[in-house]
Copies of this chain bind each other. A is one copy, B any other.
Amino acid sequence: MPLEPILTVADLNRFLETDFSEVHTDGKIFEVIATGAGFATMRLDPQEKHLRPGGTVSGPTLFALADVTAYITLLAHIGPVALAVTTNLNINFLRKPQLGPLQCTCHILKLGKRLAVLDAAISELNSDELVAHATATYSIPPR
C-alpha cells in the first residue's frame, strides 16, 4: 500500500506562508524542498539568534525543525484541512552541526485514523551525517 503525497512542494510552501506564518516571524528560514511516497524534506537556514555559544544551532531550533517537517509531511499526505496536534516528541541530539543550512527528512511510520507517527532525521544540507534524530506522534481530529 504505497502512501503517496496529495500536495506538492509548492502547495506545502504556500500553506507554510498563509496558515503557519508564525514559523516565519524570524524571517523566511523554513522551506519545503521535496516530498514523495511517505516523506517530505525541509531546509532551515539558521540565523544568529538560533545559535548557542560556540556557534552551534540551539536545541529548540532543531526541535522546531523536526516538528514542522513532521507536520508538513503529515499534511502532504492527508491534506491541509486537518488540525493535527503534536502529542509526543522524542529527540536525540547526536552531533553539533557546523554553522550553515540544515535539512530534515521525515518519514511516516504509521498513519492511523487517530494517530500518526513519524521519524525525523536532521543533518547538514547535502550530508548524511545525522545531527539529530526524532520520533513524533500527532493526534488527528475526526475527519
Contacts and interface: CB of A to CB of B under 8 A. Distances in A.
A133 B133 CA distance: 13
A60 B53 contact: no
Contacts of A93: 85-88
Given A22-B49, A22-B58, A88 B90 contact: yes
Instruction: Give the number of times this chain occurs in the complex, counting copies.
Output: 4
Contact of A115 (B22, B67, B87, B135): B87
Question: Interface residue tally of chain A, by bracket?
Answer: 35 or more
A91 B94 contact: no
Interface of A: 19-20, 22, 25-26, 49, 51-53, 58-61, 63-64, 67, 85-95, 109-110, 114-115, 117, 119, 130, 133, 135, 137, 139
